[in-house]
Amino acid sequence: MAAAAAAAEGFVRGSVHPNGVAVITLDRPKALNAMNLVKCVLVESSSPRAFSAGGDVKQISTKNQLSDMIEVFSAEYSLICRISAYKKPYISFMDGITMGFGIGLSGHGRFRVVTERTILAMPENAIGIFPDVGFAYIAAKSPGGGSVGAYLGMTGSRITTPSDALYVGLGTHYVPSGKLGSLKEALLTNSFSGDPYDDIETILAQYSGDLKSEAQLKLLLPHIVSCFGANKSVIEIMKDLERLKLNPEPKVAEWASDALQGMGKGAPFSLCLTQKHFSRVASALGKRDSDLSTVTERCDENRIPHCPEVIPST
């Protein structure tokens, strides 16, 4: 079985040339390039340091024409929409740094595997843009009616523990990094004789680890909701955080101070745009009274039946 899986890896080869042309080569000549049906998609990184740190900002910054920028982001957003609507199992190994576009590549798929090395963040405000890649939709479904997602988007704060990653909903399973190789081998050698979603759930359960700590964001939830609740302006949020810096609980005061520092790094226009955008998406979620509500409803309709709501609403 392992030999068959290894042979299958060579049936399709891909490369990206320096000028941006991607080449996919079918390489099964003995069978006239006949391909087996795809059962699932596994997305991983070749680097132990990062899954994906996001879009190549340096390269994007060289685009001087508006048409070039539109082309770049249209391609990016179209890919994310296709991932969100993909009907077959989509698995991401979010090992290491996973930020910006990295979350776009993984956060809309069904199986989002995090490890103890996973670092999650949306730091766009600090470079004068805003958290895109559909993160407002992910944030709207986060605990506290979307408050936790708004907090992450506006401050650029990092999630560095598997417990927080699963609590927020950016991760669905925790697998120790040392087991990823064995997990991948189990996926490659599985026969997928039944429902592939059930097969993958069973395999992931075999390799999942126990969380070593409670989610800190869960403990801070009342304060996150009070500061980053819907319809609060950027100025109101910062005033609330200033007050919480004086909280007698050290963890709360430290959290408020760090959140303020994160917002202080953000471009003012980016912060205001993020607050308005995230608030509108959170308010539209689950309703049918506006165009934005229709968009969020369609996102939910495109979700596969096997993808239950795994993100707590409170």
Distance CA 288, CA 92 (A): 31
Higher pLDDT, 284 or 66: 284
DSSP the chain: -HHHHHHHTTSEEEEE-TTS-EEEEE--GGGTT--PPP--EEE--S-SSEEE--S-HHHHTT--SHHHHHHHHHHHHHHHHHHHH--S-EEEEE-SEEETHHHHHHTTSSEEEE-TT-EEE--GGGGTS---TTHHHHHHTSTTTTHHHHHHHHH-PPB-SHHHHHHHTS-SEE--GGGHHHHHHHHHH----S-HHHHHHHHHHHH----SS--HHHHTHHHHHHHH-TT--HHHHHHHHHHHTT-SSHHHHHHHHHHHHHHHTS-HHHHHHHHHHHHHHHHHTT--SSHHHHHHHHHHHHS-TT----S---
Q: In this predicted structure, what is the pLDDT of residue 9?
A: 55
Distance CA 52, CA 48 (A): 11
Q: Does residue 157 have a pLDDT over 90?
A: yes
Give me the mean pLDDT over the 109-117 stretch: 97
* Residue 286 banded pLDDT, cuts 50, 70, 90: confident
Right CATH number for 42-302 from 3.90.1150.10, 1.10.340.30, 3.90.226.10, 3.30.43.10? 3.90.226.10
Q: In this predicted structure, what is the pLDDT of residue 291?
A: 62
Residue 77 CB partners (closer than 8 Å, separation 6+)? 132, 133, 134
Q: Does residue 45 have a pLDDT over 70?
A: yes
Give me the mean pLDDT over the 48-55 stretch: 87
Higher pLDDT, 54 or 222: 222
Q: Does residue 304 have a pLDDT over 60?
A: no
Q: Can you give the pTM of this predicted structure? A: 0.84
- What are the boundaries of each domain within the chain? 1-36, 42-302
Q: Does residue 122 have a pLDDT over 50?
A: yes
At 214-225, the pLDDT tens digits run 999 999 999 999
